[in-house]
Each structure stands twice: as structure tokens, then as C-alpha cells.
Amino acid sequence: MEGAEIIQVANIRDQRGDLFVAEYPKELPFVVRRVYYICNVENSKTIRGFHAHKKLHQVMICLGGSCDIVLDDGSKREIVKLDNPGKALYLKPGLWREMQNFSVNSTLVVFASEEYDESDYIRDYDEFKRYREEMR
């Protein structure tokens, strides 16, 4: 889907284990200003997200376990499974996202291009649809 990209995180593996590295500008397409992570999702039916961003760029990695990211560009939907620490999902602004199907003990880490700003969120789906229409 336009606006979403899978990025392969560099892996340096030796007998001591795996070391993954994402560096700007090679694997990380922006300079990171904020990191947050979602963990302890106790109910497998939990769905988070239900919003889009106007300006924010983000890269998501499921460091342990797995979860599904539902993406919506206003006309179609796509599901991306994040299930290994080498697989990162880069989301440009303007995509509706829902995070679901969190496995037990999963940790979703998110690298963001901007500080937290509630005014960057579109949390109403009808408003998102209108926003996408205006973008065309």
C-alpha cells in the first residue's frame, strides 16, 4: 500500500546471539524524536489505534511475539504481520491504522519522527475519509 513500506533491519549475528541495528538514514528514513512501546496486552481481542496521523512518520517493530497492523488508505485495507525483530514497518502520514492480534508477551516498539502532539491525530474514521478525499 502506498505510504507503507517494509524495512529489513540489519542483523549482526554471531555465537552470542542477534544484534539488530537501524540507523539513519540507511534503515531509518527519519531522525527519531520519540520512542514508545506497547506491551502487556493481556486480551488477545484487544484492538488499538483507530487513527491516522497528519504529519507523523513512524517505524514499528515487534520485538517479541507478534501482532497485526491493519492499514487503511481510505479505499482499501491491508494487514501486515509483524513477527520478528528484523522486520520493520515504515508508515508515512495519512494512513489509518489498527493494531490487533497481539500474542502473549508481545512488545511493539515505535520510533516516531515528532514529539507527541494530539492535534496530529485523526481519530474519527469519517473525518479520515474526508481528509483522504481532500488529499486527492
Catalytic residues: 51
106/114 Cα distance (integer angstroms) = 24
Nearer to ligand T46, 18 or 38 (CB): 38
CB of 80 to ligand T46, least distance (A): 12
Listed in sequence order, the residues at least 6 apart from 44 whose beta carbon sits closer than 8 Å to its beta carbon are 101, 102, 103, 104
Nearer to ligand T46, 49 or 129 (CB): 49
Residue from 48, 87, 92, 129 that binds ligand T46 (CB under 6 A)? 48
Query: For the chain, first and last CA: distance in Å?
Result: 16
Of 1-9, 23-31, 34-42, 125-133, the segment contacting ligand T46 by CB under 6 A is 34-42
CB of 21 to ligand T46, least distance (A): 22
CB of 119 to ligand T46, least distance (A): 12
Sign of dihedral through CA atoms 102, 107, 113, 119?
positive
* Environment class of 133 (CB within 10 Å of its CB; exposed 0-12, middle 13-18, buried 19+): exposed
C-alpha cell belonging to residue 117: 502532539
Using CB under 6 A as the binding rule, whether residue 58 contacts ligand T46 is answered as yes
Contacts to ligand T46 from residues 90-129, by CB under 6 A:
97, 99, 110, 116
C-alpha cell belonging to residue 41: 496486552
Contact set with ligand T46 (CB under 6 A): 34, 36, 38, 48-49, 58, 97, 99, 110, 116
